Structure 1
Amino acid sequence: MKISGNEIKPGNVIEHNGGLWAAVRCNTVKPGKGGAFNQVELKNLIDGTKLNERFRSSETVERVELEKKDFQFLFARDEGLVFMDVDSYDQLELQKEFVGDRAAFLQDGMMVTVQLYDEKPIGVSLPDQVVLAIAEADPVVKGQTAASSYKPAILENGVRVLVPPFIEAGERILVDTNEITYLRRAD
């Protein structure tokens, strides 16, 4: 679907320079002289490179609709991660580097959303929050409780996060998978 350059919004996926790009940030600029334009920060969905482009309202770009399908994480194998399509039960294997650092948060049976373009996976969305147990936490140092200081802890999946001083090893916490940060104790 063709849209004009000033209609590009964050989250839109467009075809530009022969690649698929996601709009990360958009800023409409109205200079004193000349026509207005949309300054757009783009991220390539295939290789992750970034690009800043100016789109005038007279320019048109092709907006791409991605197919989103629900998959269930089954297991990890060597450098691959195996997912199952919940509708057709077909299996899909993706490389760990395709998912990135967030692959450490995958748990057996976890539901994820895979974005597809022409039946080819181009992105994976995990749940925003997961519950994990603290494997190791540094002891509280006396006298540090007055300031809001955090201490390092290692989660059951090996990821390091900063937690408040009252969190002990063995406790279950809620972790933000996007920012990789502590949110609160799990119920």
Structure 2
Amino acid sequence: MKMQANQIRPGQVLEHQGKRWTVLKIQLIQPGKGGAFIQVEMRDVDSGNKTNERWRTADTVERLEVRERDCQFLYKDDVGFTFMDTETFEQFVMSSDLIGDQAAFLRESMEVTVDLIEGQPVSINLPAQVVLEVVEADAVVKGQTASSSYKPGILENGLKVMIPPFIEAGTRIVVNTAECTYVERAK
């Protein structure tokens, strides 16, 4: 299925140069002069090799049709990440290479969608938002306006995210998993 390059998201599977690639990271770059382009970090599904590609935002790319299965994340060990198909109760392991940066958001019993190509798991799709606790937050700097100032905070999974000044350590917040950004204080 053809789609524009600016619609590429982490976790999607693309066909490029005769190979199947799982998208790991995307970065939209808007230079001061010329048109915007998108830089995509991808991993070859078969060999595990990584590559970076750049496309203009108007370029088209081939997205592979994948079968999605609702699964539950069970645990992580030395072999990889173990998931269970919620329909058939079959368990399977995915390597940390396939999971990539999304591993930081995985919690036991979390419901995810796993993409399969020819029965082989190639990527996962996390929920759009997760609730995490802030374990470390910088002090508020006096004199900054509350509307535009953000401070760095460290989450329970070790990721750093910019949070509003009123968020303190111990507060649970909602985080956007695709962009790793603060959304709101958890209720």
Cα offset for 1:51? 4.8
Distance 1:126 1:86 in 2: 15
Cα offset for 1:45? 5.5
TM-score normalized by the length of structure 1: 0.71
The corresponding residue for 2:160 is 160
Distance 2:156 2:16 in 1: 42
Distance 1:52 1:141 in 2: 39
State the secondary structure of the residue aligned to 2:87: coil
Q: Percent identity?
A: 47
* Unaligned ranges ≥5, structure 1: 1-6, 25-40, 54-61
The 5 A counterparts of 1:82-161 are: 82-145=82-145, 148-161=148-161
Cα offset for 1:16? 5.3
Structure 2 counterpart of 1:163, one-letter code? I
Distance 1:13 1:77 in 2: 25
Distance 1:22 1:133 in 2: 29
The corresponding residue for 2:2 is 8
Distance 1:122 1:116 in 2: 6
Distance 1:146 1:17 in 2: 49
Asked if the contact 1:74/1:84 (under 8 Å) is kept, the reply is yes
Distance 1:105 1:22 in 2: 18
Bigger-Rg structure (1/2): 1
Asked if the contact 1:71/1:84 (under 8 Å) is kept, the reply is yes
Instruction: Mark the CA change 1:17 to 1:88 in structure 2 (over 3 Å): closer, same or farther.
Output: same
Number of corresponding residues: 159
The corresponding residue for 1:183 is 183
* Unaligned ranges ≥5, structure 2: 27-38, 56-61
